[in-house]
Structure 1
Amino acid sequence: MTGDRALFHYCSTQTGFAILQKREFRLSALSSANDTLEGRVLGRVFAQLLRETDLPPELVDVASIIVEGYPDSTEGFAFCLSEKGDLLSQWRSYGRDGSGIAIGFSPDVLVKDFGDVNFGANLYEMVKVEYGAKGIKSSLKSIADSVGAEFTKFGVFARLKDGITKERALLMLADREREAKVFESANDNASELLARLLKSLAPLHFQIYGTKPEHFHEECEWRLLRYRHKVALPDIEYFADEHSIRPYITALIADPASKVIEEVILGPKHRTNLEWMRAFLTSVGLSHVRVSRSAIESYR
């Protein structure tokens, strides 16, 4: 983890108030994030690594479509945090242009197991985000090499159906209501071999939301993360804005987990009186929480 250093969640004043008052926070669906490559970076890097093996190009397409299609069937719900508690770019992007707050969470408490009514290790995992291709190539290379070594000897046992491009195949698989068979068998053992290939690729399924493009590296992001299939489940709730209906998961901060909140930093444009902020925190059982203002004095 990050040792004794808190991890910070930047948010609007209204959202921060709700988190502190209700002692709960939301894990948001990453497919609704501004980054259109959420969940896609790993699959693209893995496809590159497969091309460096002896696996036939037809099978490279099959395997890469399977991995690149994981985000279309599996959602990542995340509570996003940063190692940086007073970063100008974070205030601009997530702290309502500096008028919001940053709540500091203990990474050690976040990973403790508090049972079903709380966040904790039995439901979530803490993930340090990797940025760009370079950071994840080393961890993926052994899997790509293993897949190449295991399946090259079988030749082209499956391929894309005639007339279907890789891009079209991904679109077809993403639309579950109109899902069509996109692969065709090339020999009698194809079904068994394809099942083996799926099993070999399975470890990647729950790694896809741990990577982001390189240009986000300044965020120094960690995620409290939970993977769920995109189907109706009891723990998934919904809200609507002007443009869409979005899913989320609620995590409680019930006692004795209240110590997970360690600090509140008021943004450079935030106006709450410090003493009133401390009084509010005491009123909701968080008197231990430290309060300070952003050190970015020139940002107005």
Structure 2
Amino acid sequence: MQDKIHFDSTLWEKVFHLLQKKETKETHEGLLYHYTTPAGLLGILQNQHIWATEASFLNDLYEIQYGLDMTKEVINTYLKNKDTYIQQFCELSLNYLEHMNSKEEEIYITSFCETSDLLSQWKGYTNFGEGYAVGLNLENMIDSNSDEEFGHISIKKVIYNKKEQSKMVKSKIKFMVLQSQKLIAQDLPNTENIMKASAKSLAYYLNAQSKRFKSSAFSEEKEWRAIYINNDFANEQRIKNKLRMVDSILTPYIELHLYKKNSAKNKILPIKEIIIGPKVDGKKAGKSINLIYKNLEVKLPKIKESKISLQ
């Protein structure tokens, strides 16, 4: 099952487009905050991009495994379906999902939070308060309202409710089963190819979607994630990843340029606010940020200090 399936681009475009159209737009009225270290903030401001880490190298792999296990659990319920086609289709999708090897799967993630001054985020991402929270406007981020998942940046809200997670997986399965059957009805001689293309497309989609699922124990975080699938599966040009050292491990990452396409000439991230962490000298940090923005020759965002006390 690990071999790549080859099918003509016209067929792929049909199947792929069906999944894209199924996506719903997501908006958020307030800012989304990216918690980061001093080095991270410097990189964001100087280079105007945010790093996204390959999912299998994230600090807590349980977060990633949770969503994948839950997705497989739902697919498994269809393997006893009385409809032979549904049973075979889901078995094929499950096999693809289970056997996606590291060369095929390359998903990059960076996290945001709806809350600007949250203790758990300061502890988890800024060495217990020795960092910053960068507030960005979702509506001004590139592709934030895009329906495109594969080969494009997708900024989505993390889902913590298990019933809602299950409902999302079932919805995609039912939709793709139905659409693949419609395609087969139009081209019976190509039945096997259509079924395989559809099943593998669904597996890729569900694999990416699973990165939005987390246990309800983490619901306080109110997290959003920018997800980027980096491969040539959908005839998209793969971005060359870079490497950095994290705890003695060479960790792959890519640079996400989250400014809108129509403002790409300026190449400025839509940063509206910067929160200085509870263990950072607010006066010195504020002056440094001010000087950086003078060099950028753009409007200085609001600069605030954390109200949380950390010893």
TM-score by length of 2: 0.68
Structure 2 residue runs of 5 or longer lacking an equivalent are 1-25, 145-149, 181-189
The equivalent position to 1:44 in structure 2, one of 66, 72, 77, is: 72
Alignment of 1:65-104 (within 5 A): 65-70=95-100, 72=102, 73-104=104-135
Match of 1:22 in 2: 47
More strand by share: 1
How many residue pairs end up in the alignment? Answer: 255
Match of 2:307 in 1: 295
TM-aligned CA distance change 1:70 to 1:6, over 3 Å = farther
Comparing 140-149 with 263-272, which one deviates more in the overlay?
A: 140-149
Give yes or no for the alignment of 1:272 onto 2:282.
yes
- 8 Å CA contact 1:111, 1:125 repeated in 2: no
Match of 1:229 in 2: 231
Q: Distance in 2 between matches of 1:262 and 1:227?
A: 27
User: Following TM superposition, by how much is the alpha carbon of 1:135 offset from its aligned partner in structure 2, in angstroms?
Assistant: 1.9
Structure 1 residue runs of 5 or longer lacking an equivalent are 114-120, 152-190
Comparing 256-265 with 24-33, which one deviates more in the overlay?
A: 256-265
User: Following TM superposition, by how much is the alpha carbon of 1:93 offset from its aligned partner in structure 2, in angstroms?
Assistant: 0.4
Residue identity over aligned pairs, in percent, reads 20
Match of 1:196 in 2: 195
Give yes or no for the alignment of 1:124 onto 2:123.
no
User: Following TM superposition, by how much is the alpha carbon of 1:220 offset from its aligned partner in structure 2, in angstroms?
Assistant: 1.3
TM-aligned CA distance change 1:45 to 1:256, over 3 Å = farther
User: Following TM superposition, by how much is the alpha carbon of 1:208 offset from its aligned partner in structure 2, in angstroms?
Assistant: 3.2
User: Following TM superposition, by how much is the alpha carbon of 1:256 offset from its aligned partner in structure 2, in angstroms?
Assistant: 3.0
SS, match of residue 140 in structure 2: helix
The equivalent position to 1:11 in structure 2, one of 30, 36, 54, is: 36
Larger radius of gyration: 1
Match of 1:116 in 2: none
TM-score by length of 1: 0.70
- What one-letter code is carried by the residue in structure 1 that aligns with 2:171? S
- 8 Å CA contact 2:32, 2:135 repeated in 1: yes
Give yes or no for the alignment of 1:263 onto 2:273.
yes
Kindly report structure 1 stretches of 4+ aligned residues shifted beyond 6 Å.
146-151
- What one-letter code is carried by the residue in structure 1 that aligns with 2:109? A
- What one-letter code is carried by the residue in structure 1 that aligns with 2:276? L
The equivalent position to 1:250 in structure 2, one of 255, 275, 299, is: 255
- What one-letter code is carried by the residue in structure 2 that aligns with 1:50? Y
Give yes or no for the alignment of 1:134 onto 2:136.
no
* Residue deviations 1:145-186 (CA, integer Å, cap 9, x gap): 5678899xxxxxxxxxxxxxxxxxxxxxxxxxxxxxxxxxxx
Q: Distance in 2 between matches of 1:21 and 1:150?
A: 46
Q: Distance in 1 between matches of 2:255 and 2:175?
A: 39
- What one-letter code is carried by the residue in structure 1 that aligns with 2:167? S
* Residue deviations 1:79-134 (CA, integer Å, cap 9, x gap): 21111111101111012101110001110111359xxxxxxx98412111222532
User: Following TM superposition, by how much is the alpha carbon of 1:40 offset from its aligned partner in structure 2, in angstroms?
Assistant: 1.5
Q: Distance in 2 between matches of 1:217 and 1:14?
A: 28
- 8 Å CA contact 2:173, 2:202 repeated in 1: no
